[in-house]
A and B are shown apart, each in its own frame.
Chain A
Amino acid sequence: MDRNPRPTSILNSLGEEIIRIITPVSICMLLVVILVSILNDDSSSASNLSSSMTTIATMAYSEDSSDSIGDKLKGALLNSLVFVGVITVVTFILVLLFYYRCTKFLKYYMGFSAFLVLGFMGGEIALFLIQDFSFPIDCFSFVLVLFNSTVVGVLAVFMSKMAIFLTQAYLVVIGMLVAYWFTLLPEWTTWVLLVAMALYDLAAVLLPGGPLRLLVELAISRDEDIPALVYEARPVTYNDSVPRGSVIQRRVWRDRSNIGSEGDEIANSGSNPNLNANSGLNSSSTVGTFLHVGSDQNERNLVHAEEGRVSGGDSQLTAPLIERRISVQMHLQEDAASGENLALEGIGLGSSGAIKLGLGDFIFYSVLVGRAAMYDFMTVYACYLAIIAGLGITLVLLAFYQKALPALPFSVMLGVLFYLLTRLLLEVFIVQCSVHLLMF
């Protein structure tokens, strides 16, 4: 054994937070891909449902496979416009409610929608699976198990005192269920809808009148947290030389400096009231997402956070003499349901150094990958890599710009681009080479 144990290299812990958020996103995508491939064969029970589904997203035009491409495109555009319009209206309603401090109402509404998602959507998908695999279970046991797991799920999402793994697992399950339902939409509508949501997100966060930006500014000015469904990664613990319990700072827009109150505790997702409303099967989720760097100054420490090193999600290691953490808050706004539901979520590095990611990103990434799975697995791999790359780019930009940035656009644009490139270019190339057993 060494007399002096070797000091640990930085490679041991660098990038840990990013991995802690990439892992659940990947798991959610994997689950949706598996569900899609199991349940979407022609003979299964889910395929009947998808052709007859009427939701907000298919209100204007229901796609028929015999339409021409121009018709399909126009119909899909109409659908997406209707959808984005509804989402904008609902987001403004949410801003209004938040402005009038109806947080209790929003909290209960979120719990109710979580109940609906887990109970009804989850139950329906479980029924499909039971049908397809001829799983022997009687209806009383089924209802009992379903009801119990739903209630536990609502409590896990609602209350802060649950084991964090349970909360994380249930949030991933909720994201998976909503994403699966989105994949039942017709194909062109889904793709145009994804692009439309990415553009909406861009507009809602960056334009001065955008609803998400208003929401963030309201939350910052009141130093409250937006009620939202948030996934919190487990906090990273370091046994390095930096003493923990360091002063937490959150910085606002880099030029203001507020003297925060007990903002640190609120930053934890545990006390984030959940806001997710989902009014049932015919629901359409919308997500506006944006990244936002917020910081406050703690009463104990009045040092301005101008020069502090940006963690930006890359690393929470701080220099030994300067104990400050800059928390990065990225908020995702999700609207899930047929019209009046809104779910707001946040990504952030909370006070304990944990990353929080909103559920809307989970859902839309999984929808993209699930749709790609309906074509072939090559597109799935390509889109997965594209989405992860987009997420990485967004995190880097966030660390760089230190202000609210939309989280959805990069990943969705890269995902759609890679899907098209793979489907049109790569597949022919690879199949040609492989069938002749030529590889390089």
Chain B
Amino acid sequence: MTVAAGIGYALLALGPSLSLFVSVISKKPFLILTLLSSTLVWLISLIVLSGVWRAFLPLKTTAWWPYGILILSSVGFQEGLRIVIWRVYKRLEDMLDAFADKVSKPRLFLTDKMQIALAAGLGHGVAHAVFFCLSLLTPAFGPATFYVEKCSQLPFFLISSIIALAFAIIHTFSMVIAFNGYEEKNRVQQLFVPIVHLVAGILTLINLASGGCIVGIPLLYFMAMLTLMYCGKMVLRRLTENQRSQ
């Protein structure tokens, strides 16, 4: 539906990520590099998943459980990858600290570590939005639009942008929670992230039912808000503790 609509859909999915990028990430070059690498990692995970599932696609059944298995396997794989990312990050942190000692600058502050986690999460969120929403937006720049039968109240592009926004929020902030959980060895936080991811993925299964998206999308946003608030509380607590101990 014209260029304006296309750009609108793109900004809907990526708006908050863009403002996060401009205000926080673009100031520090290392964070931009972190963002690019985590986007790449997400893309690679997606390619691996699609390689595994290629033989079974396109799924011709209308039953929901093959899709359920698809979502479960994908989320499981990506959460496993998150642990790998954490290990790599630990090694990187040691290297950075050693480097900081060599140039006689202070070691990484707490805010630095959180910013790196934020950049990594934002990379995941941006990758999700780009590959699940933006790459399909090309027809939206033309004169027509497209509706899906299961959810015919809104154009398909609008729905996918809204879902992509919710997932971008979830991905961005769950990485911060996860990194903090692995560092503090906090079980609750460590388990919070995979569970939220899984629940969010399963919630999209509701969209398979006719008219399901009216229920599914608000629930998805509830999960996103939950992640956001949990992350905010945790960050606030850690920063005040840090402040007090200094």
Contact = CB atoms under 8 A, between A and B. Distances in A.
Interface in A1-59: 7-16, 18-19, 22
A241 interface: yes
Given A438-B204, A440-B74, A421 B47 contact: yes
Contacts of B57: 428-429, 432
A60 interface: no
A9 B105 contact: yes
A439 interface: yes
A440 B71 contact: yes
A437 B135 contact: no
Given A10-B100, A13-B29, A428-B58, A434 B71 contact: no
Interface string B92-113: 0000100110111110110010
A436 B160 CA distance: 10
A430 interface: yes
Given A436-B67, A437-B148, A437-B213, A426 B36 contact: no
A426 B46 contact: yes
A12 B26 CA distance: 11
Interface in A278-299: none
Nearest to A428: B57
Interface stretch (A108-116, A143-151, A260-268, A314-322): A314-322
* Secondary structure of the B contact surface, majority rule: helix
Contact of A425 (B47, B163, B208): B47
A377 B134 contact: yes
Interface residues of A, number: 50
B39 interface: yes
A434 B136 contact: yes
A428 B50 contact: yes
Given A429-B50, A440-B197, A15 B136 contact: no
Interface stretch (B81-89, B125-133, B183-191): B125-133
Given A319-B103, A429-B54, A439-B132, A9 B109 contact: yes
Interface stretch (A224-232, A339-347, A378-386): A378-386
A388 interface: yes
A435 B59 CA distance: 12
A124 interface: no
B43 A385 contact: yes
B108 A435 contact: no
Interface SS majority for chain A: helix
A317 B135 contact: no
Contacts of B54: 424-425, 428-429
A302 interface: no
A388 to B, nearest CB: 6
B90 interface: no
Interface string A366-388: 00000000001110011001101
A342 to B, nearest CB: 33
Given A11-B28, A14-B30, A381-B135, A439 B36 contact: no
Interface of A: 7-16, 18-19, 22, 240-241, 309, 315, 317-320, 376-378, 381-382, 385-386, 388-389, 392, 418, 421-422, 424-426, 428-440
Given A9-B106, A381-B130, A430-B46, 12 more contacts: A9-B108, A10-B99, A11-B115, A15-B29, A319-B103, A388-B36, A429-B54, A437-B204, A437-B208, A438-B207, A440-B197, A440-B200
